[in-house]
Amino acid sequence: MPLLLVFTTVVILPFLIGIGYSFVKWDGIPANPKVFVGFDNYVALFKDDRFLTSAWHTIAFTVLALVLVNVLGLLFSLLVTSKLRVGNAARTMFFLPNLIGGLILGYIWQFVFTDAFKFLGEKTGLDSIFFNWLIDPKFALFAMVVVFTWQMAGYTMIIYIAGIQGIPDELNEAARVDGANLWHRLTRIVFPLLMPSFTICLFLTLSGAFKIFDVNLSLTKGGPNNATEMFAMNIFNEIFGYGHYGLGQAKAIVFFIIVAAVTLTQVIITKKREVQY
Amino acid sequence: MKTTSRVAGNVLLLLLSLVFLSPIYLMLVNSFKDRAELYRNALALPSSFSFQYYSKAMEKMGFLTAFGNSLYVTIISVVFVVVLASMTAWMLVRTDDRLSRFIFLLFVSTMLIPFQTLMMPLMQVMDWIRTHLHIPMLNTREGLIYMNVGFHASMAVFLYHGFIKSVPVALEEAATLDGCSKFGVFWRIVFPMLKTITITVAILDVIAMWNDYLLPSLTLSDKGLRTIPLSTFYFFGEFTIQWNLAMAGLTLTIIPVVIFYVFAQKYIIKGIAAGAVK
Amino acid sequence: MKKVKQATILLTATAMVGMLAACGSASNNNNQASGSPSASAPSSAAPEKLKKISLFQSKVEIAEPLEALAKTYQKETGNEVEVWGSAGDAYATQLQAKLAAGEGPTVFSVATGAEADKFKSYYADLSDEPFAKDIAKDMALKDGDKIVGVPYGVEGFGLVYNKSMVDPKNVTDLASFTQTLEKIKSEGKNGLSLSQEAYFLIGHIINTPFALQADPTGFIEKLNKGEVKMADTKEFQEFAKFMEAIRANTTNPMEVKYDSQMGDFATGKNAMVHQGNWSYGMLKDFGDLGFDVGMMGLPLAGNDKIAVGVASNWVVNSKADADQVKAAKAFLNWMFTSDSGKNAIVNEFKFIPAMTNIEAGELDPLSQTVYEATKNGQTIPWALNYFPQGIIVNDLAPATQAFFLDKKMTGEQFLKNLDAAWAKGAK
């Protein structure tokens, strides 16, 4: 299979090389020496408080984001596929945030949190809610969740839509004729048939949230006082900020094992619930 | 009663999407302001809607060349991803053995690797391919396409894998009995049934590749090869950002994708309708 | 099954053909057949066609004039320079990745200090080049005795002030500095503004106590080894008092971005900002300010000098092939000695030259101050160039953010936190 060949050279091979690097002490400059140090890097990372703290941030962030993104994404998809007149326009509007990728997204949101929130706080008097979230260690994390949700909800919406449109209308109609109310139709018919979409969306949000980097860098840079430094950013800093290539790779491997364990369990569980027909 | 609730629903949905769009409002209004005006009020409407920053941004970015490069890279990459990933996923679903399950998990698990940790070894592998196999992977658009296909394969396989299950095996068996080859079965029977998910994959991949900055920035160096996101670098100094040009550049970047998206959405809806009539 | 295989083979084949086809047109520096191996004399009279080179640098602000300069170079000499581009904060990472791929640029820029150290193994020796003798004293980037880098130019930072609001005579020590801040605060304005970016929050302002040590680099080395502590050093103790005064009397820098810092300064809301001559580019966008600007040193321990140094240097990639290295040296020579090159440096890049053979162009008021201070030797060094790699952004900035967010933290505690942060960052 050609895809496997491409995939191997582009992803698997570099990953294996990366595993190799996790056992050396090296600054990342090809011309400079690599010293084999065995498991030293792995020992060191478990003593790295900052790395462990970033792990907690990432977990808190991921849980919050996972729930919000999927609830919103599902809600949006149900709304825009119900026969409301503005459905089609809304579908595009919900999806637009996704088009603003990467760094600029964070910059725009800085305007929202610094300028727009201040404005709202002054106008509404609710300045305990509307203040600059980015300088409060707790709220900065929520700010990240908000931005990530804003970006991802439209993304998952698309996948839920694909799933919903795969459900035969007759099923819904038949249920309606039988007198099932909306809630019953959703829980008995729609949700079970959406299982493949759930698998996919949960997984995509999980992996996206765990790997989050761009938004982190451009919105908070990990601040204030490292309160929002996530896994990927910690690893990136180790590799390119401090030039500790081996240690950074070791962190990446540990990170990968943890995330893989969590998400693969999730995929296997939800895959089992998928309806075959 | 029913109509009022429907109107309310429409209004609510509209409001919700407007709140959702507010950051985009910021992007648009600030693409019309100079630094002093932006400083005075980032939220207000601009004092004048002149497109000077747009034309300036287009000129600085070498917009047409960059647009051509982006188009070339994105279209070819997406076609390869769709064709290769759908077949791969199909084979993985239909051959239910240990190996195929392992391959599937391999695809899935690699989606969890942060790109930043792959980029150095990736560049070394590409260097090796170039020096030993004499295929110019670096600083060519084709090399970028190759890498795009590799990086986006996992998600596409993953998406297809979930949806191929809903294609009835009975249909395929019937077609095989009618003398269709395996290849024919896939392209005539299975692939057409995957239309919705194919368009979804295409949308997601087009966006991801069109907007990607990091991978192209590593592989493409020459000015003539720059994609649209790469060519916006002029506006991003380490500390000083030329907001108006950056926002205008960004707007220019996403307009083609928005058009593509609206078009693709229409197609999904039409496709569904046509399928229902049959 | 068989058919599927055939089709996929076909697809790959097409892909390969596509790539091979690109082979011919790809401007791949390392693969390209060498242009002219014939002429070997370094400065033969006949104009010689040199190999095409690539140039990669971090300062986005000069990207366009640099491209224009490359065109002029081609017109005058017939030689080609391809100018690559990168957004400012992504530069070092991209450079590292490109070098790893053997796809490095022929000429590139490195920041003085830790970054220059990091890429040391790539530098070609420039000691014998004609322009080397023109580099101002102590300004060249050196590896041992060899000159390996040419400075972009010099830059300076200190207290940038609004001349209609602040008189430097009233800002000479901690007491008068604090008084000035208090007085301006009582008038409803803001005395001094730092901003949230790591360098503007702590990196630059903490340079002063380092630079005032008898031997700044020696002090940094001792600090790295844990032999001295900032908390026990006189200049730092006073620095902490300055920071307390700033926290007590001015806007919280965590709320301020570089953009708004300069906007507030341009509109007369900030009397002073701790900034460099580069910030004039931002002020210019506000049109006529209605007041004059000046720059003075941070009056710590009686200091009255601004900090001047070289931020970036041009280096030549020694791992490029020999013809390219030769062409690269020729280009640098042309840039620093020809009229077109010198003109571009001062008038287009707007650099304050760090070369004895280049006269400064028409300078903005801040650059003029820096230029004069340099000529008169009234400067303190950029000790921050010798800080361990990444420490300002990754360690010192978070500690400073904590100080500004927690009003109860004392200056003493702040210094202890900085010491702790340093110990971690210097590992």
Average pLDDT, chain C: 87
Same fold, C7-154+310-376 and C156-308+390-425: yes
In this prediction, residue A259 carries a pLDDT of 82
> What pLDDT shows up at residue B270?
56
DSSP character string of chain B: -HHHHHHHHHHHHHHHHHHHHHHHHHHHHHTT--HHHHHH-SSSPPS---THHHHHHHHHHTHHHHHHHHHHHHHHHHHHHHHHHHHHHHHHHHS-SHHHHHHHHHHHHHTTS-HHHHHHHHHHHHHHHHHHH----SSSHHHHHHHHHHHHHHHHHHHHHHHHTTS-HHHHHHHHHTT--HHHIIIIIIHHHTHHHHHHHHHHHHHHHHH--HHHHHH--SGGG--HHHHGGGGB-SS-B-HHHHHHHHHHHHHHHHHHHHHHHHHHHHHHHHHHH-
Residues from chain A that touch C427, judged by Cβ atoms under 8 A, are 242
Residues of chain B positioned with their CB less than 8 A from the CB of C94:
217-218
Write down the pLDDT at residue A180: 77
Specify the DSSP element, H or E, that contains C176.
helix C174-186
CB C304 within 8 A of CB C369: no
Q: Do B36 and C64 touch (CB under 8 A)?
A: no
Token duo for residue C339: 């009229």
Residues in chain A with CB shorter than 8 Å from the CB of B137 are: none
Q: What is the pLDDT of residue B225?
A: 93
User: Who among A28, A103, A223 is closest to C96 (CB)?
Assistant: A28
Is B36 in contact with C98 (Cβ distance < 8 A)?
no
Q: Is the pLDDT of residue B1 over 70?
A: no
Q: What is the mean pLDDT of residues A109-113?
A: 85
pLDDT of residue A121: 83
Which is higher by pLDDT, B162 or C183?
A: C183
| Run of H or E residues at C191 | strand C190-193
The alpha carbon of residue A170 is apart from the nearest alpha carbon of chain B, in Å, by 10
The highest-confidence range among A11-25, B178-192, C15-29, by mean pLDDT, is: A11-25
State whether residue C389 sits within 8 Å of chain A by CB.
yes
CB C329 within 8 A of CB C192: no
- DSSP 8-state secondary structure symbol assigned to residue C123: B
Q: What would you measure as the largest C-alpha separation in chain A, in angstroms? A: 74
Q: What is the pLDDT of residue C3?
A: 44
pLDDT tens-digit readout, C361-380: 889 999 999 999 998 989 99
CB-CB neighbors (< 8 A) of C96 in chain A: 28-29, 240
Nearest-by-Cβ selection for C100 from B39, B124, B240: B124
**B chain contacts of residue C11, beta-carbon cutoff 8 Å:** 80, 83-84
Q: What is the DSSP letter of C205?
A: T
Residue reference for tokens 């962190």: A251
Q: How far apart are CA C314 and CA C336, in angstroms?
A: 11
Pairwise CA distance, residues B274 & A166, whole Å: 13
Chain B residues with CB-CB distance to C201 below 8 A: none
Structure tokens at C107: 């000429």
Nearest partner of C395 among C376, C418, C414, judged by Cα: C418
pLDDT of residue C12: 52
Instruction: Note the pLDDT of residue C43.
Output: 42
Instruction: Give the separation between CA A246 and CA A34, rounded to whole angstroms.
Output: 9
C-beta of residue A217 within 8 angstroms of C-beta of residue A106: yes
Contacts with B186 (C-beta within 8 Å, 6 or more apart), sequence order: B87, B90, C4
Q: What is the pLDDT of residue B195?
A: 83
Q: Is the pLDDT of residue A41 over 50?
A: yes
Which residues does A178 contact at the CB level (< 8 Å), separation at least 6?
Answer: none
CA C203 remoteness from chain centre: 12
How confident is the model over A258-273, as pLDDT tens digits? Answer: 888 887 788 778 777 7
Tokens 């009995």, residue? B177
| C20, C60, C82 ranked by CB distance to B233: nearest | C60
Amino acid at C229: K
Q: Using 50, 70 and 90 to split pLDDT, how confident is the model at A275? A: low
Average pLDDT (A112-125) is: 82
pLDDT band at B273 (very low <50, low <70, confident <90, very high): very low
Determine contact, residues C191/C180, Cβ cutoff 8 Å. Answer: yes
Under CATH, which number does the domain A49-232+260-272 receive? 1.10.3720.10
Q: Do B236 and C88 touch (CB under 8 A)?
A: yes
- Helix (H), strand (E) at residue C148: strand C146-151
Q: Name the β-bridge partners of C156.
A: C308
The beta-carbon neighbor of A213 closest among B23, B116, B118 is B116
C394: left (phi over 0), alpha (psi -120 to 50) or beta: alpha
Min distance C268 CA to chain B CA atoms (Å): 13
Q: CA torsion B133→B136→B141→B145, rounded to 10°? A: 20
A112 close contact with B: CB closer than 8 A: yes
Q: Which phi and psi angles does C306 have, rounded to 5°?
A: -90, 160
pLDDT score for B174: 85
B residues 218-257 lying closer than 8 A (beta carbon) to C: 218, 221-224, 226, 230-241, 243
Query: Is 60 exceeded by the pLDDT of residue C23?
Result: no
Cα C385 from Cα C398, distance rounded (Å): 19
Collect all residues of chain C within an 8 Å Cβ-Cβ radius of residue A222. 398
**What is Dmax (Cα atoms) for chain C?**
88
> Cβ A109–B23 below 8 Å, yes or no?
yes
Among B114, B159, B258, select the one facing A252 at the smallest CB separation.
B114
**Model pLDDT, residue C95:** 92
For residue A27, the chain C residues in CB contact (below 8 A) are 118
Q: Tell me the C-alpha to C-alpha distance, in Å, between residue C12 and each of A2, B72, B129, B149.
A: 7, 18, 16, 12
**Cross-chain CB nearest to B218 (options C88, C89, C97):** C97
Q: Which of A1, A25, A29, A32 to mutate to test the interface with C (most CBs of C within 10 A)?
A: A29
- Using a CB–CB cutoff of 8 Å, tell me whether C413 touches chain A: no
Q: Does residue C5 surpass a pLDDT of 50?
A: no
Question: Which amino acid belongs to residue C5?
Answer: K
Amino acid at C131: F
Q: What is the pLDDT of residue A274?
A: 66
C68 at B interface, C-beta within 8 A = no
CATH of C156-308+390-425, one of 1.20.58.1030, 3.30.2010.30, 3.40.190.10, 3.20.20.100: 3.40.190.10
Concatenating the DSSP letter of every residue in C288-319 gives --SS-EEEE---GGG---EEEEE-EEEEEBTT
| B240:C287 CB<8 A | no
3-state SS, chain A, equals CHHHHHHHHHHHHHHHHHHHHCCEECCCCCCCCCEECCCHHHHHHHCCHHHHHHHHHHHHHHHHHHHHHHHHHHHHHHHHHCCCCCHHHHHHHHHHHHHCCHHHHHHHHHHHHHHHHHHHHHHHCCCCCCCCHHHCHHHHHHHHHHHHHHHHHHHHHHHHHHHHHCCCHHHHHHHHHCCCCHHHHHHHHHHHHCHHHHHHHHHHHHHHHHCCCHHHHHHHCCCCCCCCCCHHHHHHHHHHHCCCHHHHHHHHHHHHHHHHHHHHHHHHHHHHCCCCC
pLDDT digits (tens, 9 = 90+) for C118-171: 899 999 999 999 999 999 888 899 998 999 999 999 999 999 999 999 999 999
| Residue matched to tokens 């939800």 | A270
pLDDT digits (tens, 9 = 90+) for C89-118: 788 889 998 988 888 899 999 999 888 988
What end-to-end distance do the CA atoms of chain B give, in Å?
A: 35
Position B158 pLDDT exceeds 70: yes
pLDDT of res. C14: 46
Segment B199-228, tens digit of pLDDT:
889 988 998 899 888 899 889 989 899 999
Q: Rg for chain B (alpha carbons), in Å?
A: 23
A224 preceded by a cis bond (ω within 30 of 0): yes
Mutate to test the interface with C, among B35, B61, B232 (most CBs of C within 10 A): B35
What CATH topology corresponds to C7-154+310-376? D-Maltodextrin-Binding Protein; domain 2 (3.40.190)
**Segment C405-427, tens digit of pLDDT:** 999 999 999 999 999 999 988 87
Chain mean pLDDT for chain B: 85
Size of the A and B interface in Cβ pairs below 8 Å:
235
The answer to whether A143 and A110 have CB atoms below 8 angstroms apart is no
**B205/chain A closest Cα distance in angstroms:** 11
**Exposed/middle/buried for residue C416 (C-beta within 10 Å: 0-12, 13-18, 19+):** middle
Name every residue whose Cβ is closer than 8 Å to that of residue B47 and which is 6 or more positions away in sequence: B33, B37
Q: Is B83 touching C (CB cutoff 8 A)?
A: yes
What are C301's two structure tokens?
């321990």
A115 in contact with C, Cβ within 8 Å: no
In this structure, what DSSP letter does residue C352 have? B
A residues 26-65 near C, CB within 8 Å? 27-32, 50
Q: Which of A42-56, A96-110, C29-43, C146-160 has the highest mean pLDDT?
A: C146-160
Contacts of A82 in chain B (CB under 8 A): 9
More confident residue, C299 or B24: C299
Phi first, then psi: what are they for B221, rounded to 5°?
-115, -40
Q: Does C14 reach chain A within 8 Å, measured CB to CB?
A: no
Domain boundaries, chain C: 7-154+310-376, 156-308+390-425
B84 closest CB neighbour out of A3, A103, A245: A3
Q: Which chain C residues are within 8 Å of A30, Cβ to Cβ?
A: 99-100
The predicted model gives C200-211 an average pLDDT of 97
Q: What is the dihedral of CA A248, A254, A258, A263, to 10 degrees?
A: 60
Please state, in angstroms and as integers, the Cα–Cα distance from residue A113 to each residue in A132, A233, B31, following that order.
5, 21, 19
Q: List C residues 16-45 in contact with B (Cβ-Cβ < 8 A).
A: 16, 18-20, 22-23, 26-29, 31
How many percent of chain C have pLDDT more than 70?
A: 89
Separation of alpha carbons B232 and B211, rounded Å:
11
Q: How many CB atoms lie within 10 A of CB A45?
A: 22
Average pLDDT for A64-71: 94
pLDDT value, residue C28:
38
Of A79, A88, A165, the CB nearest to B272: A165
ipTM over 0.85: no
Of A2, A84, A245, the CB nearest to B10: A84
Cα radius of gyration rounded to whole Å, chain C = 25
Q: Are C186 and C305 in contact (CB under 8 A)?
A: no
